[in-house]
Structure 1
């Protein structure tokens, strides 16, 4: 508890110092931090208060519920109070993630004990897997620490992006799923879907998690979850209609995400590809890109990871952060904060060093190449896109490595692994 409190205090102090420094404006304007979807723009609120539809142009892309919340925040909160609100939201997100990790570790320990009890004695002797129990306490401590001290998350909070509130809803979703709360899971996913569309995929792990332990029949439980989600989503849509008085917001929220009309640079893959593409091919590749992020991996991953819905939810979050239309560093930092929950898999991972180097180099090179492109004019868009492409590749390697490590550990638990070669104890030597 003392370690966690000190970590929370340090994280809050870092955020507050940066928010009150001259670097705050610089961070807010970075394309890696703020995008068309998450930047803290006051223009939409001003237009709405002036009686002008903020969705009539291409400026505002938050949901009407978010518009109402931001209007109240700007009306009743000072600049300092607004900064404190962002910091408190980030700290609350970390606390919820710590609670989620604690519950998940307890489930993993119980599952591992059951699996090992079914393992033959001769295979149990040869098993070299790290026990979840040995890493549980560290995982519970590292999850909030990784979130609070991750530079991606710190920049996301200091830049006053609405991703701070999105990450809070993501954390609430994961906590509600592991607590098997139908209403709160569906409500948080419905709010995220209304704002970002792609989080609707989280209904798959939520349904597997909740229905799998439900005392009712599986079909009834699944029907109940889906019906609750659709009811809440329709209610939120009509509430948005009531706030705006029209359905114009759909085009500038969900339509904006699907069609990708804004091609300003970001850390994603869309902007450069569609800038260089011939216009008559645009709809074909828009459909291809959206199918890749929204549909292609849902069923295969759900079938393979149905026994571990939390890892399945992590996979969907990572895929969305890599391939979504307008990603930012806050999206990447959130799913990376969940990695310590699978600390027992790190032994089976093979590309950790390579991925770490890629992420570090891309983080440093991105602002450097941007300066050369925009200000020095000694580079062009290809240089910046090369960095974003390498950043995406590193994330893909990270995701595939953790999934393959899960498969290898599952194999080791079931069949055992031996360190003997030709009857002799094997030894790995690096020369």
Structure 2
């Protein structure tokens, strides 16, 4: 507990010191941390336009949904030195660190791995959460007020609520993540699977407690009880199937309901501010006027369509900007569709293979989303690592750890020099930055593949152990039956 508190205080102190020395203006111009979607300058400009009565989506700079305009409507150019804004982003990182700690601690308590020492089980949640909180990339994203921190917070909070079998709140928080960016909507399937698994585990724990309390003393009524138990098992199976179907239906319905509700609220806010449309619920033709308005969901074009169509091709650490600048205009829409459809295609085989391991399925899908982002930042890299290492069993089976660590150090160190050689000095070209960003993304894909390989090894080992136990039980039961038959004879 003392170690955890000291690390949290150290992370808060580092952020306060960097704010005090005014490093925000230095890192605010770094392409590794600022993108057209996560830029705080674009939000300040949109708030300024909104205060003067003009639409913030009139230009091509602001791409966040309207609720963020309402939340940060007090922001201006002088608010960069405002400690209220700084405290908000420090608290976001602090909550993410605490959520990682709680998620890893809960998974360790459920797994009960005998291979891990007690000291290692205590240190592991603190180590992984501190890797995220004390990482220089997360500190830099906090310095530049990166709006991508909100999506990371929503994803971690939805995972934690799903581990506690809270389907309503987890779908609501996930709808907030999907409202900010479109791609986290793919996490609805593993989140529902995680909720179903946690509820079944809680139900089994209650049954085991009841069985331990009730002691059966009568041996004469075994046959009757066995018949009753078989009937009960059949009923419980039917009840479980109906419950799982209801949970699937309820989870998808709640997620879509929250998401549509947020979009409708955004539309009402946008209409009441930037159009002559007056909100009057008592009007009998309310829905007709609402949907026939000229300003009908125009913010979707500048938010979700912007992310899916990848209209802004400013250089970043991703891959899409270079590929789309080099392709012909005729093939652009086809390439954009294939690039955005990769996550949807990968969702199907991952869910089929890891449906009984929903927490790892969440980690795989979130990591694939972060790797294949249209506008990624370096702050996504520690988040990807911590998400993949939520299950400590996989750390034992991973290979090439030193190679990955040193390789990422070299690649990340060469990002800013290659950008300077191309943009500022003019002595290079776009291939310099694209080559190093390609190697960075390839390294992240290799890490994901290595974690999937280690997960497959762990799953096969668990299946082999279950087969051995079942064979031993069958052998012991047959022995007992033969001995009982001999006694009867």
TM-score, normalised by the number of residues in structure 1 = 0.88
Equivalence map 1:177-216=2 (5 Å): 177-212=162-197, 213=199
1:404–1:135: structure 2 CA closer, same or farther, 3 Å change rule? farther
1:134-213 correspondence runs (5 A): 135-212=120-197, 213=199
Q: Which residue of 2 aligns with 1:398?
A: 447
State the structure with more CA Rg. Answer: 2
Q: What secondary structure, in the 3-state scheme, does the structure 2 residue paired with 1:188 have?
A: helix
- Please tell me whether the aligned partners of residues 48 and 76 of structure 2 are also in contact (alpha carbons under 8 angstroms): no
> CA offset at residue 342 of structure 1?
2.7
CA distance in 1, matches of 2:4, 2:186: 32
Larger relative contact order (CA 8 Å, sep ≥ 6) = 1
Matched with 1:426 is none
Q: Tell me the CA shift for residue 73 of structure 1.
A: 5.4
Query: Within 1, Cα distance between the matches of 2:184 and 2:269?
Result: 23
Match of 2:394 in 1: 345
Are residue 310 (structure 1) and residue 295 (structure 2) matched?
A: no
Which one of the candidate residues 72, 90, 95 is aligned to 1:92?
A: 95
CA gap of 1:134–1:202, structure 2 versus 1, over 3 A, is farther
Confirm or deny: 8 A CA contact 2:317 2:377 kept in the other structure.
yes
Which region of structure 1 is more displaced relative to structure 2, 328-337 or 42-51? 328-337
User: Is 2:442 the counterpart of 1:362?
Assistant: no
Instruction: Report 1:29-428 matches (<5 A).
Output: 29-41=29-41, 42-72=44-74, 79-109=82-112, 130-131=115-116, 135-212=120-197, 213=199, 217-245=243-271, 246=295, 247-293=297-343, 295-415=344-464
Per-residue Cα deviation, 1:160-189 (whole angstroms, up to 9, x for no partner): 111222222122111111112112111111
For this pair of structures, how many residues does the alignment match?
A: 397
Offset at 1:411? Answer: 2.3
Cα pair distance change 1:108/1:73, threshold 3 Å: farther
Rounded Cα–Cα distance in structure 2 between residues aligned with 1:221 and 1:337? 29
1:396 positional shift: 0.3
Matched residue of 1:342: which SS? coil
Distance 2:356 2:76 in 1: 45
Shift of 1:72: 4.0
CA distance in 2, matches of 1:391, 1:300: 25
Distance 1:132 1:405 in 2: 20
Query: Residue 194 of structure 2: SS of its match in structure 1?
Result: helix
Q: Deviations over 1:176-216 (max 9, x none)?
A: 11112112111111111111100001101111111333566
8 Å CA contact retained: 1:359, 1:394: yes
What is the alpha-carbon distance in structure 1 between the residues aligned to residue 38 and residue 160 of structure 2? Answer: 23
Determine the C-alpha separation between the residues in 1 that align with 2:109 and 2:62: 43
2:288 aligned residue: none
Q: For residue 147 of structure 1, give the secondary structure of its aligned residue in structure 2.
A: helix
Shift of 1:144: 1.4
Structure 1 position 348, deviation (Å): 1.2
Greater mean alpha carbon deviation, residues 190-199 or residues 211-220 = 211-220
User: Could you list the per-position Cα deviations for residues 228-253 of structure 1 after superposition, in whole angstroms to 9, with x for gaps in the alignment?
Assistant: 11111110010010111131110111
SS state at 1:297 partner:
helix
RMSD: 2.0
Q: Which runs of 5+ in 2 are unaligned?
A: 201-239, 272-294, 466-489
In 2, the alpha carbon distance for the partners of 1:144 and 1:74 equals 33
Asked whether the 8 Å contact 1:186–1:225 carries over to 2, the reply is yes
For residue 140 of structure 1, report the CA deviation from its aligned partner: 1.5
Q: Taking structure 2 as the reference length, what is the TM-score of the superposition?
A: 0.78
d(CA) in 2 for partners of 1:74, 1:226: 39
Cα pair distance change 1:373/1:262, threshold 3 Å: same
Q: Is the 8 A contact 1:351 1:398 kept in 2?
A: no
Residue 338 (structure 1) shift = 2.8
Runs of 4+ in 1 over 6 A off after TM superposition: 75-78
